[in-house]
Structure 1
Amino acid sequence: MKMFEHKGYLGSIEASVEDGILFGKLEFISALVNYEGETVPELKAAFEVAVDDYLATCAEKGYEPETPCKGSFNVRVGHELHLAVAVKAKELGVSLNDFVRNALNQASTA
């Protein structure tokens, strides 16, 4: 999936065939920030304006803007897998966190 990127924020690229427009929203934050355009260059410009407006609005209101994907998340894997992975990490002499980080790193570049 292709996405726009501006100032560390990512935005989706969607199309409405019925309405003949392109649209998207900022991804990986809980605030709903959307944008639209008729062409890809228009959509990209609208995305950048949306990011800048989101950051300006946060500053005006004294809010800390959300950071996309803060760097931690919880994953429920069940007892057996948790134990097996913990044992494997111990055998390799690494922390469970490093073991999982390495596995995710490998999967994201495959």
Structure 2
Amino acid sequence: MTTMSYKGYEAVVEYDEDAEVFHGEVANLRDVITFQGRSVAELKAAFAESIEDYLAFCKARGEEPEKPYSGQFVVRADPSLHKAVSGAARRAGVSLNKWVTATLEKAVRD
């Protein structure tokens, strides 16, 4: 499984060995958007076309398309964890935001 992106939208792609076709699904949207191609070039073109169709569909419905993530989110934690994380950030000499971001980046890489 791999990912690809277009205009900030991300898709998860798999190869179906039996059908000899790549198929993908755009991630994290309220609507299900899929695409496929027999080659990487076909796959990229189908992905772009799917996103453009989605944007046009949203416009026709008078809805704003879901935007790619802003980079901001709220995390609710037990107060003792909040205290421990704040202490860890202070000991590392960085802001709580930088500490959490670095920790999340490490977790995603591992």
Could you say whether these structures have the same fold, taking a TM-score greater than 0.5 normalized by the shorter chain as the test?
Answer: yes
Q: Deviations over 1:40-71 (max 9, x none)?
A: 21111100100110111111111111123332
4+ residue segments displaced more than 4 Å? 74-80, 90-95
Deviation (angstroms), 1:93: 6.5
Matched, 1:44 2:44: yes
Question: Aligned pairs, how many?
Answer: 109
CA contact 1:27–1:68 (8 Å) conserved in 2: no
Percent same amino acid at aligned positions? 37
CA RMSD of the aligned region, Å? Answer: 2.7
Determine which structure has greater relative contact order: mean sequence separation of CA pairs < 8 Å that are 6+ residues apart, divided by chain length: 1
Structure 2 residues without counterparts, runs of 5 or longer: none
Secondary structure of the equivalent of 1:13? strand
Query: Aligned residue for 2:53?
Result: 53
Q: TM-score, normalized by length of structure 2?
A: 0.74
Query: Aligned residue for 1:100?
Result: 100
CA contact 1:29–1:68 (8 Å) conserved in 2: no
Q: Deviations over 1:61-84 (max 9, x none)?
A: 111111233323455665543321
Query: Aligned residue for 1:81?
Result: 81
1:92/1:72 CA distance change after superposition, 3 Å: same
